[in-house]
Amino acid sequence: MNKILLVDKPTDITSFGVIARLKRKFNIKKIGHAGTLDPNATGLLIVMIDKATKLLPYINEKTKTYSFRLRLGIQTTTGDIWGDVKEQGVINAVDHSNINEIANSFIGEYQQLPPMVSAIKHRGKKLYEYARENIEIHRELRNTYIYELNLKIENEQEISGRVVCSKGTYVRTLCEDIGKRIDNLATMIALNRDAIGNISVDEAFTLDQIENDEFDFINIRKVLKDQVFVEYNNTDDIYNGRDIKLNETSDRVFITNSDQILAVYERVVDKRYHCERGLW
């Protein structure tokens, strides 16, 4: 069961709830996922089973793609429609001819104020825990990056969008910031994660499909697309964690034997590599 499964998470369930269902389905304890989604968010979860959980640090999460929808004229305590309303205002008309210019203004480095309903820690405690106690914590702006942003005016109240962004970008904050640039209050009303790196939700399976055995596991190498693989014959070296010599240019390599991924090795000096993590 050293496998990777792509799940299309539905709404009204936590990422932890998805994992709990999969644990029961596969009758296995060791299971994890890349990138938590809020209960009301939908979309891609990359789930690692058994020893595949060791691959978590190596999965490419540099870019994430989301589809979202925002509503104008309202702002909430959480930045989304599921929070308490803290302000309402008149909706200022949005110029259709100007919406592409607004979207393009976000492209590149983008500073965000992290929301209070985030998992960022302050003095050992997560911000959302303070938020539950109605305690506001001072936060510093954080640098993120927007690679692509497309916006579409759906009606006088709602705008839909699709964004390709760096890891750590809060789409709810992006929605509020879009509102500011068009002189409106705004809050997120829907969020779907379309992709993590090169892995698309189109390849994922619903929980019902998985429960009914209508699914396939993904090839592990696909989620390690940017990594370097080296076939190595003396497996005793690998199983015993010995340093090895390789003629490689990459500082990190995945050691394989007969197409089985055995370990991750890092360069120590010149041609000498040391075992960073065993994967067998």
Residues pairing with 39 in the sheet: none
Determine contact, residues 270/244, Cβ cutoff 8 Å. Answer: no
Q: Please indicate whether residue 216 is annotated as part of the active site.
A: no
* 61 Ramachandran zone, left/alpha/beta (phi>0; psi -120 to 50): alpha
Query: Closest Cα to residue 187, out of 40, 2, 58, 51?
Result: 40
Residues in the chain: 280
Spatial distance between the Cα atoms of 158 and 189, rounded to a whole number of angstroms? 9
Cβ atoms of 199 and 222 within 8 Å: the answer is yes
How many Cα atoms sit within 13 Å of 62 on the Cβ side? Answer: 8
Catalytic residue among 8, 12, 38, 177: 38
Could you give the strand order of the β-sheet that contains 229-231, starting from the edge strand earlier in sequence?
229-231, 252-257, 260-269, 272-278, 244-245
User: Whole-angstrom Cα distance, residue 151 to residue 68?
Assistant: 9
Closest CA to 205 of 2, 21, 16: 21
Cβ-based neighbours of 160, under 8 Å, separated by 6 or more: 67, 68, 69, 70, 151, 152, 154
Residues that are catalytic: 38
